[in-house]
Amino acid sequence: MDDVLDAVPPADPAIEPDGFVVVVDPGDRIHFLDWGGPAADVDTAQRGPGVLLIHGLSQTAWIWAPVARRLRAAMPTVAMDLRGHGLSDAPTDDGAYDLEVLAEDVVAVAEGSGLLPVDDAGPRVVLAGHGFGAIVAAQAALALGDRCAGLVLVDGGWESLEAATDMEADEFLRGLDEPPEVMASLGAFIADRKGFDPSTWDDDQDRAARATVVETHAGRVVPATRPHAVEASVRSMFTYDPLATLAGVVAPVTALLASDDTEHTRERALERASAARVERGLTPIELRRFGHDGHNLMRYRPREVTAAILARRPPDH
């Protein structure tokens, strides 16, 4: 493992990504950060795959900064804001947050950013998603078929939420509210986020945290993610069928598990998903465990997450 980590490029703290949008039907704008890459000025047919990073529920593209600053030295790197999150539009139409629609957004960003050619020719793309973003990434990998070079599931994407949480969507939604004291002021909110692990707090973590809230005139903060988008996204999460989806993803899959999981329930869910792939003649899911780290592995283990993504590139790149 040390040899693999030694090959991970160092983070470049000086890079500022460029922000862009793609427009999807019926006119919604999906925002993404383009971190660049070593072959950004080379025709897509002459380089290896890039990577598209997808954040989790109520987060934004900035949560991927610790990984993107490393990845960009090795492969073109883009991080997107899911609809309803960050700087992307938040449509209110029925079905606007269905998993198939979210997957279409991923494909649109992959093509619109230049990671994927629109005509199916040329390089493929690696998808990496965190939590809810892992579910979206898996759905998008299914939609992309051979155009996806690899899929990395960061602490999510292989479980049925209803089975994993023993909750229904309504109960899960009620548990998302932050304590009032945390939302009492921007200072209190930032202090709470920093307190998870002060040793990993830096300017990127500060920026990622601030992107998730809005300060009111009264000095309190409220979530930046639109309430209707949170509710619709959670309800989509609870429709996700990991066995059917991952058994249809032709690309190799890596799962990063951030949990002590003393009862091994999450590992058993992953074993079932892996077995479903093997039954279809596909490769099993590669598991990497991070038992004493929190859910946000991009913050706590950025080198390891970067290494897992780099390992999903085809061997000739």
Q: Which two tokens stand for residue 203?
A: 């300017």
Confidence (pLDDT) at 313? 86
Measured in degrees and rounded to the nearest 5, phi and psi for residue 110 equal -60, -40
Structural domains of the chain, ranges and CATH numbers in brackets: 2-176+226-310 (3.40.50.1820)
Amino acid at 277: R
Q: Which pTM value belongs to this model?
A: 0.95
CB 64 within 8 A of CB 58: no
CB 278 within 8 A of CB 184: no
- Cα–Cα dist 239/226, whole Å: 20
| Residue 192 Cα to chain centre, angstroms | 22
Cα-based distances in Å from 250 to 70, 105, 136, 269? 27, 20, 16, 19
- Cα–Cα dist 257/287, whole Å: 7
Q: Is the dihedral of CA 249, 58, 229, 116 positive or negative?
A: negative
CB-based burial of residue 232 (10 Å sphere; 0-12 exposed, 13-18 middle, 19+ buried)?
Answer: buried
* Number of neighbours of residue 262 by Cβ within 10 angstroms: 7
pLDDT tens digits in sequence order for the chain, 317 residues long: 556 788 899 999 999 999 999 999 999 999 999 999 985 444 444 457 999 999 999 999 999 999 999 999 999 999 999 999 999 999 999 999 999 999 999 999 999 999 998 776 667 999 999 999 999 999 999 999 999 999 999 999 999 999 888 999 999 999 999 999 999 999 999 999 999 999 999 999 999 999 999 999 999 999 999 999 999 999 999 999 999 999 999 999 999 999 766 668 899 999 999 999 999 999 999 999 997 788 999 999 999 999 999 999 876 55
Query: Is the peptide bond prior to 26 cis by the omega test (within 30 degrees of 0)?
Result: yes
Q: DSSP secondary-structure letter at 177?
A: P
As a residue count, the chain comes to: 317
Q: Radius of gyration of the chain from Cα atoms?
A: 18
- What beta strand segments (E) does 180-246 contain? 213-215, 221-223
- Cα–Cα dist 177/229, whole Å: 15
Confidence (pLDDT) at 40? 47
